[in-house]
Amino acid sequence: MKQNRTRSLAGGRRKTRADGTFSYKGHQKSSRPPLKSGRLSFIKLPAIPVLAFAVFAATTALTGGSSRLDIVWLLILRPITILCLMAMFLTAKRIPWGDIRPIPLLFAAFAITIAMQLVALPPAVWQHIPGREQYNAVALALNGGDQWHPLTLTPDRTWNSLISLLVPFTAMVGFLLLNDRQRRALLLPILGLVAFSMLLGVAQFAGGETSSLYWYSVSGRGQLIGLLANRNHQGALLALTLPLLRVWVLQANHSARKLRGSIGLGAASLIVIYVLVLGSRAGMALAIVGLVGAFMVDPSLEASRQISKRQRLIIISSIAVGVIVLFAMTLNADRAVSIARLVQRDDILKTEPRIQALPTLFHIMAQTFPFGTGFGSFVPVYTSFEPDSLLGPTYFNNAHNDLIELIITGGLPAVFVFAVFLGWWGRASYRCFMASPTPAIQQQRATAWAILILLLASLVDYPLRTPILGTLFTIFACWLAASPNSTEENPA
């Protein structure tokens, strides 16, 4: 008869049964987790919607700096935007539209306003729309008086305006698919975007007007425009960064608050100097608004009191060196145009084309209200009203006042949607400024000021027509609308 044998094995005892099988007693299980077959369990990749949003954001930053509809970069931006949007929709479990109410509703209303202008109208209706008299005469001369026509005078450009909404819509969807922590973390990439745009602008400026770093064919060559194609747009981007920079400083823990305070103060000073050398008068005014906004994010001087005398000396020295370097670059090779624009004493009422065009713009508004001429139709419509005294070698590509252009091209429906948005923004801003300054509330205060800066910039230019600033505007609106801790888990 066989006897049972035992053997010590890994802290336990193995018992040999009579039938030749084994059993263990007292053996402790290893604390090491089992490896999953065919999978690297220690690597956790972001969800596909998050990756798609990151690809979309990077593409927009590198190709979305111009508002023109004929730039070649749109052949890259829009297809990638569509692919990223499809990836988000196909892989997300759900999209929490209610997290940022009423932004999706306002966006849908604006899109419907544009789409309605593409609906064909019978001749009896179209011919009696205000501002269609001269166009109706042309249609009759071409034997087209009995044909149906859409409300817009330029259907191709209106279609382009509708399709261009894909970029901010993708930004909105991407924001919704992030959890609360990821949404707050968007602040750092935005600050990185601004820093890269500033460095690119310096490299462009150093390379001169022929620098290959100006990758938009129609742009402010010889200027520090960075990722944008217009110095006023670059100025608006820098100005809205100031309140965001203050939030970044305030969100540091106690041990890092001094270091961030020093970095933030130095960065803000460089931004102001940069705007000065940029030569954008609108940018200078917006920078002042940005500084006020940065203070109003949390009206306290606690962070500045924590900066030592040595740190203040380093900051002041860095600012002085920055001033000398940037001004030396400006004055080099007869490049003092940007500073000259700020100190010139010419009568701006007589030399500024935007002001000279105001009477004509008001006349077009009176002739075409309340239905408008169609989104994207400004250039051909303005040329048909432009007086001979304003003719020149260049053309008026926009009204340089988006409120006026909105009234001309969108009519009463677009103005109504914009008024509702303004009402919501005012109420949301008041609510966050009346609340206790928690980190989430501080961030909402900064975004409220950033929206204000972009709206003010739109009164003298058209920054929101660029995909970069349009995307940032959408993210700021979503930030302001989102309730803190609305989505702790990623809905993707």
Min mean pLDDT across 55-59, 65-69, 278-282 is at 278-282
Are 390 and 360 a contacting pair, CB within 8 Å?
Answer: yes
Query: For residues 190 and 357, which has the higher predicted lDDT (pLDDT)?
Result: 190
Q: Is pLDDT at 487 greater than 80 in this prediction?
A: no
Under the banding of pLDDT at 50, 70 and 90, the label for residue 246 is very high
**What would the mean pLDDT of 96-103 be, rounded to a whole number?**
93
| Cβ 470 vs Cβ 464: under 8 Å | yes
Beta bridge partners of 7: 14
Torsion angle of C-alpha atoms 48, 50, 53, 54, degrees rounded to 10: -100
Range in 63-77, 92-106, 192-206, 315-329 with the lowest mean pLDDT: 315-329
pLDDT at res. 332:
54
Asked whether the predicted pLDDT for residue 492 surpasses 90, the reply is no
Which range (286-295, 300-309, 390-399) has the least confidence? 300-309
The 10 Å Cβ neighbour count of residue 448 is: 25
Is 118 buried (19+), middle (13-18) or exposed (0-12) by CB count in 10 A?
middle
Does the pLDDT value for residue 190 go beyond 70?
yes
Give the pLDDT band (50/70/90) at residue 40: very low
Q: How far apart are CA 451 and CA 427, in angstroms?
A: 13
| Residue carrying structure tokens 């001429």 | 373
For the cut 70, the answer to whether the pLDDT of residue 205 exceeds it is yes
| pLDDT for position 409 | 95
Query: Is the pLDDT confidence value at 53 over 60?
Result: yes
Both structure tokens of 305: 């009191």
Q: What mean pLDDT do residues 16-42 have? A: 49
Tell me the pairing of strands 12-16 and 22-25: antiparallel
Is the pLDDT reported for residue 137 higher than 60? yes
- Contact indicator for 48, 87 with CB cutoff of 8 Å: yes
Identify the residue with better confidence: 350 or 211.
211
Whether residue 82 has pLDDT greater than 90: yes
Task: Give 407-465 pLDDT, tens digit per residue.
Answer: 999 999 999 999 999 999 999 999 999 988 888 999 999 999 999 999 999 999 999 99
**Could you check whether the bond before residue 49 is cis, i.e. omega within 30 degrees of 0?**
no
Q: What is the pLDDT of residue 391?
A: 79
Contacts of 316 (CB under 8 A, 6+ apart): none
Percent of the chain residues topping a pLDDT of 70 = 78
Q: Residue 342: is its pLDDT beyond 60? A: no
Kindly report which listed range (172-176, 275-279, 320-324, 409-413) carries the lowest average pLDDT score: 320-324
Give every strand in the sheet of 12-16, ordered side by side: 5-9, 12-16, 22-25
Separation CA 30–CA 10 (nearest Å): 10
**Is it the case that residue 325 has pLDDT exceeding 60?**
yes
Mean pLDDT along residues 347-355: 69
- 47 pLDDT more than 50: yes
Quick one: angle between helices 48-63 and 166-176, nearest 10?
A: 140
| Residue with token string 């609906």 | 119
Give pLDDT, residue 393: 78
Does 204 score more than 50 pLDDT? yes
Over residues 244-249, mean pLDDT: 93
Catalogue the long-range contacts made by 437-440 (C-beta closer than 8 Å, 24 or more residues apart). Answer: 437/297, 437/298, 438/484, 439/184, 439/250, 439/251, 440/184, 440/484, 440/485
- Per-domain residue ranges for the chain? 48-117+152-347+395-481
3-state secondary structure the chain: CCCCEEEEECCEEEEECCCCCEEEECCCCCCCCCCCCCCCCCCCCCCHHHHHHHHHHHHHHHHCCCCCCCCCCHHHHHHHHHHHHHHHHHHCCCCCHHHHCCHHHHHHHHHHHHHHCCCEECHHHHCCCCCCHHHHHHHHHCCCCCCCEECCCCHHHHHHHHHHCHHHHHHHHHHHCCCHHHHHHCHHHHHHHHHHHHHHHHHHHHHCCCCCCCCCCCCCCCCCCCCCCCHHHHHHHHHHHHHHHHHHHHCCCHHHHHHHHHHHHHHHHHHHHHHHHHCCHHHHHHHHHHHHHHHHCCCCCHHHHCCCHHHHHHHHHHHHHHHHHHHHHHHHHHCCHHHHHHHCCCCHHHHCHHHHCHHHHHHHHHHHCCCCCCCCCHHHHHHHHCCHHHCCCCCCCCCCCHHHHHHHHHHHHHHHHHHHHHHHHHHHHHHHHHCCCCHHHHHHHHHHHHHHHHHHHCCCCCHHHCHHHHHHHHHHHHHHHCCCCCCCCCCC
Query: Torsions phi, psi of 10, nearest 5?
Result: 55, 45
- Looking at residue 118, its pLDDT comes to 95
Residue 340's pLDDT is what?
60
**Number of C-beta neighbours around residue 251 at 10 A:** 17
pLDDT band at 398 (very low <50, low <70, confident <90, very high): confident
The pLDDT assigned to 222 comes to 84
Interval 260-295: pLDDT, tens: 888 888 899 889 889 988 888 889 999 999 999 999
More confident residue, 39 or 97: 97
pTM of the model: 0.84
Q: Mean pLDDT, to the nearest integer, of 325-337?
A: 53
In the predicted model, what is the mean pLDDT of residues 15-34? 51
The confidence score (pLDDT) of residue 6 equals 47
Distance CA 223, CA 349 (A): 24
The mean pLDDT value of the chain amounts to: 83
Q: Decide if 13 contacts 24 (C-beta within 8 A).
A: yes
% of the chain at pLDDT higher than 90: 51
3 vs 195, which has greater pLDDT?
195
pLDDT surpassing 60 at residue 26? no
